[in-house]
Amino acid sequence: MSDNILKIAGLKVAYGGIKAVKGIDLEVNKGELVTLIGANGAGKTTTLKAITGTLPACKVEGTMSYLGKPLAGTQSFRLVQQKLAMVPEGRGVFTRMTIHENLLMGAYTRDDKAAIAADIERWFGVFPRLKERSGQLAGTLSGGEQQMLAMARALMCHPTLLLLDEPSMGLAPIMVEKIFEVIRDVSAQGITILLVEQNAKLALQAAHRGYVMDSGLVTMTGNAQAMLNDPRVQAAYLGE
Protein backbone atom coordinates (compact mmCIF):
# COMPACT_ATOMS: atom_id res chain seq x y z
CA MET A 1 0.00 0.00 0.00
CA SER A 2 1.21 3.50 -0.80
CA ASP A 3 2.10 5.84 2.03
CA ASN A 4 0.37 8.65 0.22
CA ILE A 5 -2.52 10.18 2.16
CA LEU A 6 -3.14 13.36 0.17
CA LYS A 7 -1.98 14.25 -3.31
CA ILE A 8 -2.72 17.48 -5.12
CA ALA A 9 -1.58 18.05 -8.70
CA GLY A 10 -1.92 21.19 -10.78
CA LEU A 11 -4.51 22.78 -8.49
CA LYS A 12 -5.86 26.09 -9.76
CA VAL A 13 -8.62 28.11 -8.09
CA ALA A 14 -10.06 31.39 -9.37
CA TYR A 15 -12.65 33.57 -7.65
CA GLY A 16 -14.08 35.31 -10.70
CA GLY A 17 -11.10 37.17 -12.14
CA ILE A 18 -8.91 36.63 -9.07
CA LYS A 19 -6.50 33.73 -9.50
CA ALA A 20 -5.95 32.67 -5.89
CA VAL A 21 -4.14 29.37 -6.61
CA LYS A 22 -2.22 29.12 -9.88
CA GLY A 23 -1.25 25.46 -10.26
CA ILE A 24 0.25 23.80 -7.21
CA ASP A 25 1.43 20.27 -6.43
CA LEU A 26 1.43 19.10 -2.83
CA GLU A 27 1.69 15.72 -1.13
CA VAL A 28 1.21 14.54 2.42
CA ASN A 29 2.40 11.06 3.35
CA LYS A 30 1.33 8.78 6.18
CA GLY A 31 2.42 10.02 9.60
CA GLU A 32 3.82 13.31 8.31
CA LEU A 33 3.25 16.77 9.72
CA VAL A 34 3.43 19.00 6.67
CA THR A 35 3.13 22.75 6.92
CA LEU A 36 2.02 25.25 4.30
CA ILE A 37 3.35 28.71 5.10
CA GLY A 38 3.23 32.06 3.33
CA ALA A 39 2.06 35.64 3.62
CA ASN A 40 -1.53 36.87 3.82
CA GLY A 41 -3.43 36.20 0.63
CA ALA A 42 -0.91 33.66 -0.70
CA GLY A 43 -3.70 31.11 -1.30
CA LYS A 44 -3.21 28.80 1.70
CA THR A 45 -6.79 28.82 2.98
CA THR A 46 -8.12 28.51 -0.55
CA THR A 47 -6.03 25.36 -0.97
CA LEU A 48 -7.47 23.83 2.21
CA LYS A 49 -11.00 24.75 1.16
CA ALA A 50 -10.42 23.13 -2.22
CA ILE A 51 -9.45 19.90 -0.41
CA THR A 52 -12.58 19.91 1.75
CA GLY A 53 -14.88 21.11 -1.04
CA THR A 54 -15.95 24.15 0.98
CA LEU A 55 -15.10 26.84 -1.57
CA PRO A 56 -17.82 29.24 -2.67
CA ALA A 57 -18.81 28.88 -6.34
CA CYS A 58 -15.54 29.32 -8.21
CA LYS A 59 -13.42 27.70 -10.87
CA VAL A 60 -11.31 24.74 -9.68
CA GLU A 61 -8.90 22.80 -11.92
CA GLY A 62 -6.40 20.03 -11.23
CA THR A 63 -6.64 16.74 -9.39
CA MET A 64 -6.79 15.90 -5.71
CA SER A 65 -6.82 12.46 -4.14
CA TYR A 66 -7.21 11.23 -0.59
CA LEU A 67 -6.13 7.67 0.25
CA GLY A 68 -5.76 7.06 -3.47
CA LYS A 69 -9.32 8.10 -4.35
CA PRO A 70 -10.36 11.31 -6.15
CA LEU A 71 -11.62 14.07 -3.85
CA ALA A 72 -13.44 16.28 -6.33
CA GLY A 73 -17.14 16.40 -5.66
CA THR A 74 -16.90 14.68 -2.26
CA GLN A 75 -19.40 16.28 0.12
CA SER A 76 -17.91 17.64 3.33
CA PHE A 77 -19.91 15.37 5.65
CA ARG A 78 -18.62 12.33 3.73
CA LEU A 79 -15.06 13.49 4.38
CA VAL A 80 -15.59 13.16 8.12
CA GLN A 81 -16.93 9.63 7.52
CA GLN A 82 -13.66 9.01 5.66
CA LYS A 83 -11.76 10.43 8.62
CA LEU A 84 -10.62 13.64 6.99
CA ALA A 85 -11.18 16.39 9.57
CA MET A 86 -10.64 20.13 9.27
CA VAL A 87 -10.31 22.83 11.92
CA PRO A 88 -11.15 25.96 9.94
CA GLU A 89 -9.76 29.46 10.39
CA GLY A 90 -11.93 31.14 13.04
CA ARG A 91 -12.46 27.71 14.71
CA GLY A 92 -16.09 27.03 13.70
CA VAL A 93 -17.29 25.67 17.04
CA PHE A 94 -21.05 25.39 17.60
CA THR A 95 -21.42 28.47 19.81
CA ARG A 96 -24.93 27.64 21.04
CA MET A 97 -23.98 24.16 22.14
CA THR A 98 -22.09 23.26 25.28
CA ILE A 99 -18.50 22.17 25.20
CA HIS A 100 -19.55 18.60 25.93
CA GLU A 101 -22.14 18.69 23.10
CA ASN A 102 -19.51 20.06 20.69
CA LEU A 103 -17.26 17.12 21.48
CA LEU A 104 -20.13 14.66 20.99
CA MET A 105 -20.82 16.29 17.58
CA GLY A 106 -17.22 15.56 16.63
CA ALA A 107 -17.94 11.87 17.20
CA TYR A 108 -21.22 11.75 15.29
CA THR A 109 -19.90 9.14 12.86
CA ARG A 110 -19.11 6.76 15.74
CA ASP A 111 -21.44 4.61 17.82
CA ASP A 112 -19.01 3.25 20.40
CA LYS A 113 -20.48 5.18 23.36
CA ALA A 114 -18.02 4.01 26.01
CA ALA A 115 -15.01 4.82 23.81
CA ILE A 116 -16.48 8.23 22.95
CA ALA A 117 -16.87 9.01 26.67
CA ALA A 118 -13.28 7.85 27.25
CA ASP A 119 -12.04 10.10 24.42
CA ILE A 120 -13.88 13.08 25.89
CA GLU A 121 -12.20 12.42 29.24
CA ARG A 122 -8.86 12.12 27.46
CA TRP A 123 -9.26 15.55 25.81
CA PHE A 124 -10.47 17.01 29.09
CA GLY A 125 -7.18 15.73 30.52
CA VAL A 126 -5.22 17.54 27.80
CA PHE A 127 -7.34 20.70 28.07
CA PRO A 128 -8.43 21.04 31.72
CA ARG A 129 -10.11 24.38 30.97
CA LEU A 130 -12.60 22.58 28.74
CA LYS A 131 -13.41 20.11 31.52
CA GLU A 132 -14.04 22.93 34.01
CA ARG A 133 -16.42 24.54 31.51
CA SER A 134 -17.92 21.35 30.10
CA GLY A 135 -21.56 22.44 30.54
CA GLN A 136 -20.97 26.01 29.37
CA LEU A 137 -21.97 27.27 25.89
CA ALA A 138 -18.99 27.21 23.52
CA GLY A 139 -19.75 30.81 22.48
CA THR A 140 -18.74 31.99 25.96
CA LEU A 141 -15.19 30.61 25.64
CA SER A 142 -12.15 32.76 24.87
CA GLY A 143 -10.53 32.53 21.44
CA GLY A 144 -7.83 30.20 22.72
CA GLU A 145 -10.32 27.95 24.47
CA GLN A 146 -12.45 27.79 21.31
CA GLN A 147 -9.33 26.76 19.37
CA MET A 148 -8.69 23.97 21.86
CA LEU A 149 -12.32 22.86 21.59
CA ALA A 150 -12.23 22.94 17.78
CA MET A 151 -9.12 20.75 17.77
CA ALA A 152 -10.50 18.31 20.32
CA ARG A 153 -13.78 18.11 18.37
CA ALA A 154 -11.92 17.34 15.12
CA LEU A 155 -9.87 14.65 16.87
CA MET A 156 -13.02 12.97 18.21
CA CYS A 157 -13.54 11.34 14.78
CA HIS A 158 -10.08 9.70 15.00
CA PRO A 159 -8.94 11.38 11.79
CA THR A 160 -6.55 9.80 9.32
CA LEU A 161 -5.78 13.31 8.08
CA LEU A 162 -6.20 16.49 10.13
CA LEU A 163 -6.24 19.84 8.34
CA LEU A 164 -5.50 22.86 10.54
CA ASP A 165 -6.01 26.39 9.27
CA GLU A 166 -4.05 29.03 11.20
CA PRO A 167 -4.52 27.50 14.66
CA SER A 168 -2.38 30.20 16.29
CA MET A 169 -4.22 33.16 14.78
CA GLY A 170 -5.20 35.83 17.27
CA LEU A 171 -4.08 33.84 20.31
CA ALA A 172 -1.99 34.97 23.27
CA PRO A 173 1.59 33.57 23.22
CA ILE A 174 0.90 31.12 26.05
CA MET A 175 -2.10 29.70 24.16
CA VAL A 176 -0.05 29.45 20.98
CA GLU A 177 2.52 27.41 22.88
CA LYS A 178 -0.16 25.09 24.24
CA ILE A 179 -1.77 24.61 20.82
CA PHE A 180 1.61 23.74 19.25
CA GLU A 181 2.38 21.34 22.08
CA VAL A 182 -0.88 19.54 21.27
CA ILE A 183 -0.14 19.58 17.52
CA ARG A 184 3.24 17.95 18.18
CA ASP A 185 1.64 15.36 20.51
CA VAL A 186 -1.07 14.51 18.00
CA SER A 187 1.57 14.14 15.30
CA ALA A 188 3.69 11.95 17.57
CA GLN A 189 0.64 9.66 17.95
CA GLY A 190 0.87 9.05 14.21
CA ILE A 191 -1.98 11.25 12.98
CA THR A 192 -1.13 12.81 9.61
CA ILE A 193 -1.44 16.61 9.64
CA LEU A 194 -1.49 19.41 7.07
CA LEU A 195 -0.94 22.65 8.96
CA VAL A 196 -1.50 26.08 7.41
CA GLU A 197 0.26 28.73 9.48
CA GLN A 198 1.45 32.30 9.32
CA ASN A 199 3.75 31.67 12.26
CA ALA A 200 6.36 30.10 9.98
CA LYS A 201 8.95 29.55 12.67
CA LEU A 202 6.74 27.54 15.02
CA ALA A 203 5.20 25.66 12.11
CA LEU A 204 8.55 24.65 10.60
CA GLN A 205 9.92 23.73 14.03
CA ALA A 206 7.01 21.31 14.51
CA ALA A 207 6.81 19.96 10.95
CA HIS A 208 8.64 17.25 9.02
CA ARG A 209 8.27 19.01 5.66
CA GLY A 210 7.17 22.43 4.51
CA TYR A 211 5.81 24.24 1.48
CA VAL A 212 6.05 27.99 0.96
CA MET A 213 3.23 29.61 -0.99
CA ASP A 214 3.51 33.03 -2.57
CA SER A 215 0.90 34.67 -4.80
CA GLY A 216 -0.85 31.39 -5.56
CA LEU A 217 2.29 29.36 -6.31
CA VAL A 218 4.48 26.97 -4.33
CA THR A 219 7.85 28.73 -4.39
CA MET A 220 9.81 26.39 -2.13
CA THR A 221 9.44 22.97 -0.56
CA GLY A 222 11.61 20.62 1.44
CA ASN A 223 12.63 19.27 4.81
CA ALA A 224 11.34 21.61 7.53
CA GLN A 225 14.65 21.81 9.38
CA ALA A 226 16.49 22.65 6.16
CA MET A 227 13.91 25.34 5.40
CA LEU A 228 14.41 26.85 8.88
CA ASN A 229 18.11 27.16 8.03
CA ASP A 230 17.53 28.52 4.52
CA PRO A 231 18.50 32.21 4.32
CA ARG A 232 15.68 32.90 1.81
CA VAL A 233 13.08 31.53 4.23
CA GLN A 234 14.75 33.32 7.15
CA ALA A 235 14.69 36.66 5.34
CA ALA A 236 11.16 36.42 3.98
CA TYR A 237 9.24 34.51 6.67
CA LEU A 238 11.20 34.27 9.90
CA GLY A 239 12.01 37.94 10.36
CA GLU A 240 15.72 37.19 10.58
Question: Which residues bind to ligand ATP, rule: CB under 6 A?
Answer: 15, 18, 20, 38, 40-46, 56, 198
Asked if 195 and 164 touch (Cβ cutoff 8 Å), the reply is yes
Minimum distance from residue 110 beta carbon to ligand ATP (Å) = 31
Name the residue nearer to ligand ATP (CB basis): 1 or 57: 57
CA–CA distance, 143 with 171 (Å, rounded to integer): 7
Residue closer to ligand ATP, measured from CB, 47 or 192: 47
Q: Which residue number, 98 or 198, has a Cβ lying nearer to ligand ATP?
A: 198
Nearer to ligand ATP, 43 or 144 (CB): 43
- CB of residue 141 vs ligand ATP: minimum separation in angstroms? 22
Closest approach of ligand ATP to the CB of residue 20, in Å: 3
Report how far apart, in Å, the C-alpha atoms of 87 and of each of 68, 82, 90, 161, 174 are. Answer: 22, 16, 9, 11, 20
Least distance to ligand ATP, CB of residue 220, Å: 15
